[in-house]
Every structure is written in structure tokens, then in C-alpha cells.
Amino acid sequence: MKASHFLISTLKEAPADAEIVSHQLMTRAGMIKKLGAGVYSYMPMGLRVIRKVEAIVREEMNRAGAIEVTMPVVQPAEAWQETGRFNKMGPELLRFQDRHGRDFVIQPTSEEVVTDIARQEFKSYKQLPKNLYQIQTKFRDERRPRFGLMRGREFTMKDAYSFDKDRDSAQASYQTMRDAYQRIFDRFGLQYRAVRADSGAIGGDLSEEFQVIAATGEDAIVYCPNSDYAANIEKAESLAPAGPRPAASEALEKIATPGNSTCQAVADQLGLPLARTIKSLVLATDEVNEAGEIVKTQVWLLLLRGDHDMNEVKVNKVDGLANFRFASLAEIQDHFGCEPGYLGPLNLQKPVKLVVDREVAVMADWICGANEKDFHIRGVNFGRDLPEPALVADLRNVVAGDPSPDGQGPLAIERGIEIGHVFYLGTKYSEAMNATFLADNGKPTHFEMGCYGIGITRLPAAAIEQNHDERGIIWPDAIAPFTVVLCPIGMDRSELVKQAAEKLYADLLALGVDVILDDRGERPGAMFADWELIGVPHRVVLGDRGLKEGLVEYQHRRDAAATPVPLADVVAQLKTRLGL
């Protein structure tokens, strides 16, 4: 490609709404253009990256035996009503009516449609296993779309769906996809981790996320440096504490803690470690009748160690706490007779259901709120001051240094961006839609399913979060918009430069290198700044003075300075660097 035939459009300033670096750099590099909230055009420079991502994904999906289809963006509501998701999903499922008043959705994923295809196409176990995938436009009507392609409303996803005859075969299909994902992420040239994940609303009981490591990532990834254990913090188990509970050694004592409404403030006042305090969180669960009216509300008190954070996914899995909410101020006043900041399990106005983190269950002589403004109680002990806890569970996020569940040492935590997800779904969708095949015993049997996503348009953003500096983007070779940029200086004035640049361009094209020749006639400073912003990994500068000595300058985007290279050697050197 010659730059004069392309659309290069860089900006000095990022737009005001670009909060994260990938959004800023993709906009400044002219890769995306905002059309509305969470809705972007992919400009030529950005589309090249997306197409390379798509090509790698498609190649590896095909290699893994998956078969490409395309399901409609606009989908009639019927299948979505069969699984109940038409009503159950929140407003992020975009629903509308056509000119005849029929209900439609814009696909956020395609479990329903692909299951409908399977129940028509796969009649016999002899046709299984099968894996169907698409690379297609999706839409989620996010309440607050932001971060550019990281959390847009319209995006491109690769979604694959496997259909198997039994659980063993389904798990083999899952493993095949997991292996393909590793090849895909290896080829992207990004640092990533496959981590155990909660399977969330989509259902199923085995699920892993592929996380691109980046300090700015939304997700916390827990891993063991000594083993291959890795999990999303939502999922990572905090092991039960090893030893038994120490005996009580302090007397119960009410202490004035005026204005100290946080565990930290109380610990500071008493000169004790934060880990001696207890955090009291008040939750509620509502029982609803068929008309959607609340017929009964249960208030819960959750006890965590003062230095720990609640893990919502784990709490949701406690018996009775599915779909919990935080209690209202009125509910708290009603049960505790006190405002938040001084709450605790003693001296309640009305009974609540107590649930205690495993760590709290083995603590002695702890400190909690007194259910009286500006007062706490210290020296609290189970079995003496309140009954032994009936409900003990893992309720908290792990912290760095916690023991790894596999016993291989302490855990570490880093941040990541979820780019891929593999799920074993079981028969959730095939049962809801009565999708069956004839098994070898002649009986109609529900498909065992898996689903497997990759955020195609999110990936470039994640790659940038991981690979950038103050000058701009640094693309891995495999997904760079161009692999090599040739920057001739004064091409219009020097025949020597012009000829060398055109010849090098032709030689690299002939090798199949994705090279761009910057023939725009920009001044060197502006030209270099453009390509550093855009992030093309390999740059060759051709100047008149150097060429008179037979030299050009090579610089990798990560190099601090350029290296003189004989013009005669530059193709060979690039071949080596590009692995050709």
C-alpha cells in the first residue's frame, strides 16, 4: 500500500470522552470514529487490524474442525421466547418491533438460533460432534457505553457452539476449543492467561476466560506463580483457614468510637491490626409471587474480616442468597436500630439470618459495631457472646499471599481484559428448546452443548492497553495494520531516495510483507510521529545522506534509537525479524 492511496488521519488530541489509553490512541491514530454512544465506524487503519484478528481466528477455528455459518443480526423473538431469555434478559437485549408489530431482537449472542439449526440438522448421533461458528455483528444496549471498542454497544464477536452426544464428548470438544484458543492467543503475540471463571447468567458448570494482561484491565486475575493455577477473582477460592479457632481471651467491652464508622478508623483508634475487626454487610432477599409482588423479605447479616472484600459471585451461590440485594436504610434501621458504620451481630432489634465468612468463623476476640451510633464492641467471641455460626461459607475475594487452592504456594494478583471465554453449557439450551438427536440406543437425547466467544473488535483495544508508550501504540506483528513502514525523506527532491524506496517497497511486497510506503511528502518529524502513534512495529527510514553511503535506518517500535543498516542487507534483516 502507498500512503497516498490510503486514508491516514491522525489527531494531536484525544476526544474528551476517551477515558482509557486504547480509546484515546485508537481515535488519535484514526482507527475508529465515533458515530454515537458506543457505536463506531471502523476506519481503514482500524479495519486492517480487525481483519487480521478475524483471519487468525477463522484459520484456527477451521483447523479445529469448526464450520462457519452466519446467523442473522436481526432475529425474530420466537426462539428467544422458547428459552425465556426474551423476557429474562435486561434492557441490554435490544428489542424492537417490525412494521407489522412483530417482536425482534438484535443478537447479543446466538445460542437460540444455533440450537434451532442443530435440532433441524443433526438428527443422529452419527452426525456428532459438530461445532458451528460465526464472526458477526452483535449489539448490547449497554446502559453506559464507554471506553471505545472496550465496552461498545455494536461490536463483532466470534461465537462458536459445539453439539455433542454425551458429556465426555462435550468435554473433549471443550478441550479442542480451549487448545484452539491457546493457538489463537499465541499467534496474536499478546501476554495472556487462561483463567477459571464463573459461568454467570449463561449457565453451565465449566468455564474459562482468556484474559489479556494489562494494568488497566477491569478484571482481577488470581494466579499461582509456581503452578498453572489461574482464575478470575470472581471464581478463585479462598481456602478454609488451616488451624482451629483460638480460645477467647478478652472480655466483651463496649467502646466509644465517635465518628469512626469504618473498620480502618476503629483499628487505627485502638492501635490494632485491621484484621482484628469485622465488617458487617446487610443484604436482603425478596420472595415474589406470580404477579411480581414481593410477599416476603429476609434480611441477612454478612460478616467479613475488616481487611477483606465481599465476592458477589460467591455470595450469590450461598443457599437462599441467589439474587440478593443490599438492604435499604429503612430495613437496616428496622433490624439494627442503628445506621450503617456501627453495625454488628449483637443487640439486634429484629432477628436476621447470619452468614459468616470462613475466615471470620475461626477468629477470636474480634471487634464489631455495637448497633449504636459512635460505639463498637471488642472481645467478641462465637460460642460465648453469640451462638456458633450456623452458616459458614467462602464469601470473600482472595488477596495476594493467600494460599493457592492447588497447594503450590501463595497466590499473586494481576489485572486483565477478558477477550475470550469458553463455556461448557450442558443441556441448558437443548432442554429449553427440546433440541434432540437420536442416540445410538435409538432414543431422542438432548444435545450436550458448549459455547465459545472471542471479542474480535475488543481485541485491538486490549492489545493497545498492553502495548503502548507515551508516543502511541506498539502493535505485535501479527495484528499490526501494516508490518513495515518505509519512510523516505525528501522523496520528491532526491532521485536516489525515490528509487531506493520504490525498489525496497517492491521487494518487500514480492515477499508478501504487508508494507506501507509513506509517499505523502510529510516532513520527517510529522511522519515519524504519525507512525509511532499508529504503532507499525518495523520502520525503515531512507535518506539521501545515508543512501550515498549505502545505508538506511531500521528501528523497531520498541527500540530507543535507529540502527544503520546497509541497504543491501535490509531485506534479509527484515526477513529474519519477521520470521520469513
Minimum CB distance to a second copy smaller for 99 or for 443: 99
- CA-derived radius of gyration, the chain: 29
User: What cell numbers appear for 466 in the block?
Assistant: 498492553
Piece in contact with a second copy (CB under 8 A), picked from 98-106, 259-267, 379-387, 461-469: 98-106
Piece in contact with a second copy (CB under 8 A), picked from 4-12, 177-185, 402-410, 544-552: 4-12
Does residue 438 interact with a second copy by CB under 8 A? no
Piece in contact with a second copy (CB under 8 A), picked from 111-119, 414-422, 553-561, 569-577: 111-119
Q: Is the peptide bond before 241 cis (omega within 30 degrees of 0)?
A: no
Does residue 141 interact with a second copy by CB under 8 A? yes
Does residue 516 interact with a second copy by CB under 8 A? no
| Pairwise CA distance, residues 89 & 110, whole Å | 14
Residues making up the chain, counted from first to last: 580
Does residue 139 interact with a second copy by CB under 8 A? yes
Minimum CB distance to a second copy smaller for 49 or for 392: 49
Does residue 153 interact with a second copy by CB under 8 A? yes
Sites for a second copy among residues 472-501 (CB under 8 A):
none
Shortest Å, Cβ 417 to a second copy: 22
Shortest Å, Cβ 288 to a second copy: 23
Shortest Å, Cβ 185 to a second copy: 24
Sites for a second copy among residues 17-36 (CB under 8 A):
33, 35-36
Does residue 575 interact with a second copy by CB under 8 A? no
Shortest Å, Cβ 184 to a second copy: 19
Piece in contact with a second copy (CB under 8 A), picked from 138-146, 279-287, 311-319, 347-355: 138-146
3 state DSSP class of 255:
strand
Shortest Å, Cβ 341 to a second copy: 35
Name the DSSP letter for residue 55. H
Does residue 158 interact with a second copy by CB under 8 A? no
420-439: b (≥16 Cβ within 10 Å) or e = bbbbbbbbbbbebbebbbbe
Minimum CB distance to a second copy smaller for 275 or for 438: 438
Shortest Å, Cβ 97 to a second copy: 8
Pairing of strands 412-426, 219-223: antiparallel
Its sign, for the CA torsion 253, 256, 260, 266, is negative
Does residue 7 interact with a second copy by CB under 8 A? yes
Does residue 12 interact with a second copy by CB under 8 A? no
3 state DSSP class of 296:
strand
Name the DSSP letter for residue 276. G
Does residue 94 interact with a second copy by CB under 8 A? yes
Piece in contact with a second copy (CB under 8 A), picked from 134-142, 164-172, 323-331, 380-388: 134-142
Shortest Å, Cβ 457 to a second copy: 9
| Pairwise CA distance, residues 562 & 553, whole Å | 6
Neighbours of 129 (CB within 10 A): 20
| Pairwise CA distance, residues 3 & 490, whole Å | 15
**∠ Cα 172 173 178 (to 5°):** 95
Which residue's C-alpha cell is 471488642? 378
**Which helix H or strand E contains 269, and what residues bound it?**
helix 263-270
The rounded Cα 564 to chain-centroid distance in angstroms is 42
**Helices of type H across 90-138:** 111-121
Residues contacting 161, CB < 8 A, separation 6+: 110, 111, 114, 115, 118, 131, 132, 133, 449, 450, 451, 452
Neighbours of 82 (CB within 10 A): 17
| Pairwise CA distance, residues 352 & 324, whole Å | 14
Number of residues that bind a second copy (CB under 8 A): 52
3 state DSSP class of 368:
strand
Does residue 96 interact with a second copy by CB under 8 A? yes
Does residue 137 interact with a second copy by CB under 8 A? yes
Does residue 526 interact with a second copy by CB under 8 A? no
Sites for a second copy among residues 26-85 (CB under 8 A):
33, 35-37, 39-44, 47, 50, 65, 67-76, 78-79
3 state DSSP class of 43:
coil
User: What cell numbers appear for 412 in the block?
Assistant: 499473586
- Residue choice 9, 191, 316, 573 for contact with a second copy (CB under 8 A): 9
Minimum CB distance to a second copy smaller for 76 or for 490: 76
User: What cell numbers appear for 349 in the block?
Assistant: 432489634
Minimum CB distance to a second copy smaller for 102 or for 325: 102
Shortest Å, Cβ 325 to a second copy: 21
> Around 194, how many Cα atoms within 13 Å sit in the side-chain half-sphere?
20
| Pairwise CA distance, residues 559 & 256, whole Å | 61
Does residue 99 interact with a second copy by CB under 8 A? yes
Minimum CB distance to a second copy smaller for 135 or for 542: 135
Contacts with a second copy, 385-424, as mask; x by CB under 8 A: ----------------------------------------
Minimum CB distance to a second copy smaller for 116 or for 219: 116
Residues 416/102, Cβ–Cβ less than 8 Å: no
Residues that bind a second copy (CB under 8 A): 5-7, 9, 33, 35-37, 39-44, 47, 50, 65, 67-76, 78-79, 91-92, 94, 96-99, 102, 104, 106, 113, 116-117, 120-121, 130, 132, 137, 139, 141, 143, 153-154
